[in-house]
């Protein structure tokens, strides 16, 4: 198994690096100060192809695959992790859900504009009383009323729901059917009444990309915007979370690399008793641990992408990659902050808020403990992580030219 990146993917990495350095990094702090969502930057990123690597050309993607997608988000996170807060909404789980379970007409209508950054996406699954048991504990209910569904309830942790044009929202259509009672819907909050998003104030996190509580009061969704059949929502989201975990794992590697680079720079600049602190063995111990963990995590991320690109079972390896990479990001942020000492808590230094993102990514897209359960149950033979490979009945994002079917 050769993880040497092709010249094409290396060229993509260089392009992403230039885009982030020229378009995003110089202005991101101003967006943060204004607490303004950078819609124009998202559009530019979409035009540059940063969200469409795994989607076919028929919907505006580049069809470069999961390896390219992993490299893209790794480089984006290395440069400015806050700007990656909408990657899942624009090029990950949100458009993937539509592509996996939508009709050709739905795919053609919604996916191209989302990955082009023209419309802002959203994924709303979690609720205040649920976590890893989101489907089983879901209380939000969708009742059919003629040609529409009326959805009532409350959602939690809905990233950029206050800005979204088109999103995916999950609600029960059968209160007594457990996970099989959950249905997925394509929602358009600016077009239909009953949807209110309220940003949650999170310490140290972006003021431009906000996470939200969503209140649903007879929120109207046309029947034609149901994604798949009633009761298929859990199947769709579980399939979409698989590449979503690759997305988060790659983001963790990029963040860990950014922390490492900050640590190396500061260790060479900061002097004690006339010499750089990097000369001290305790600092070298930190640097060595970070360098080793990053290489190991990157290898797991690239192996996951390789499996996905080659149609191999990947749920188990995606969980391993997400768990290891999130551990690495958390460790690198912690050690970098220790190297910075008191300055590591000063807002002017990136590590002060990168530490918060490392903690957040440790829990996002399936917490570390959930990944450990998946890994352990597979190892013990209790529940094989890849048991559903190729058996979901959903189309394959990397193979099916869906939009062509709608023409």
Dump pLDDT digits (tens) for 220-256. Answer: 999 999 999 999 999 999 899 888 999 999 999 999 9
Question: Taking residues 40-53, what's their average pLDDT?
Answer: 98
Q: Is the pLDDT of residue 406 over 90?
A: no
Per-residue pLDDT at 275: 97
Dump pLDDT digits (tens) for 72-115. Answer: 999 999 999 999 999 999 999 999 999 999 999 999 999 999 99
Per-residue pLDDT at 397: 86
Residues near 374 by Cβ (< 8 Å), separated by ≥ 6?
315, 316, 319, 385
Per-residue pLDDT at 401: 67
Residues near 251 by Cβ (< 8 Å), separated by ≥ 6?
73, 74, 76, 77, 81, 84, 87, 361
Whole-angstrom Cα distance, residue 70 to residue 78? 12
Q: Is 365 a catalytic residue?
A: yes
User: Which of 2-6, 47-51, 70-74 is least confident?
Assistant: 2-6
Question: Are the C-beta atoms of residues 155 and 124 closer than 8 Å to each other?
Answer: yes
Per-residue pLDDT at 404: 52
Helices (H), 275-314: 281-309
The one catalytic residue in 127, 232, 262, 365 is: 365
* Confidence band for 389, pLDDT divided at 50, 70 and 90: confident
The overall average pLDDT reported for the chain is 94
* DSSP 8-state class, residue 5: P
- Continuous segment of H or E residues that includes residue 217: strand 211-222
* Confidence band for 128, pLDDT divided at 50, 70 and 90: confident
User: Which of 163-172, 278-287, 364-373 is least confident?
Assistant: 364-373
Per-residue pLDDT at 320: 97
Phi, psi of 360 (to 5 degrees): -65, -45
* Confidence band for 27, pLDDT divided at 50, 70 and 90: very high
* Confidence band for 296, pLDDT divided at 50, 70 and 90: very high
Per-residue pLDDT at 270: 97
């Amino acid at each position: 198994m050769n993880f040497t990146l092709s010249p094409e993917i290396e060229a993509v990495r260089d392009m992403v690096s230039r885009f982030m350095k020229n378009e995003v990094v110089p202005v991101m702090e101003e967006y943060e100060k204004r607490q303004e969502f950078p819609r124009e930057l998202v559009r530019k990123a979409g035009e540059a192809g940063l969200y469409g690597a795994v989607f076919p050309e028929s919907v505006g993607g580049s069809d470069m695959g999961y390896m390219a997608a992993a490299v893209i988000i790794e480089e984006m996170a290395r440069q400015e992790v806050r700007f990656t807060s909408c990657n899942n909404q624009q090029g990950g789980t949100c458009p993937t859900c539509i592509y996996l379970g939508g009709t050709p007409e739905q795919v053609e209508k919604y996916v191209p504009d989302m990955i082009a950054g023209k419309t802002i996406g959203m994924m709303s699954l979690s609720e205040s009383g649920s976590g890893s048991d989101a489907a089983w504990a879901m209380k939000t209910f969708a009742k059919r009323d003629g040609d529409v569904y009326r959805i009532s309830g409350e959602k939690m942790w809905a990233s950029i729901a206050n800005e979204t044009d088109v999103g995916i929202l999950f609600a029960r259509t059968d209160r007594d059917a457990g996970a099989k009672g959950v249905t997925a819907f394509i929602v358009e909050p600016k077009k239909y009444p009953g949807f209110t998003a309220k940003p949650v104030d999170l310490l140290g996190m972006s003021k431009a990309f906000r996470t939200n509580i969503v209140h649903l009061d007879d929120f109207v969704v046309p029947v034609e915007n149901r994604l798949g059949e009633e009761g298929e929502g859990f199947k769709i989201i579980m399939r979409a979370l698989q590449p979503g975990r690759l997305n988060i794992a790659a983001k963790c590697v990029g963040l860990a690399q950014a922390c490492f680079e900050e640590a190396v720079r500061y260790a060479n600049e900061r002097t004690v008793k006339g010499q750089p602190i990097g000369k001290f063995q305790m600092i070298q111990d930190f640097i060595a641990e970070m360098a080793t963990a990053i290489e190991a995590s990157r290898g797991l991320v690239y192996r996951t992408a390789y499996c996905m690109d080659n149609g191999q079972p990947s749920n188990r390896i995606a969980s391993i990659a997400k768990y290891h990479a999130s551990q690495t990001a958390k460790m690198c942020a912690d050690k970098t902050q220790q190297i910075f000492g008191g300055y590591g808590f000063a807002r002017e230094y990136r590590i002060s808020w990168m530490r918060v993102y490392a903690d957040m990514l440790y829990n996002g897209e399936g917490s570390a403990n959930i990944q450990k359960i998946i890994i352990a149950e597979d190892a013990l033979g209790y529940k094989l992580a890849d048991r559903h490979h190729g058996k979901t009945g959903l189309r394959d994002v990397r193979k099916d030219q869906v939009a062509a079917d709608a023409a």
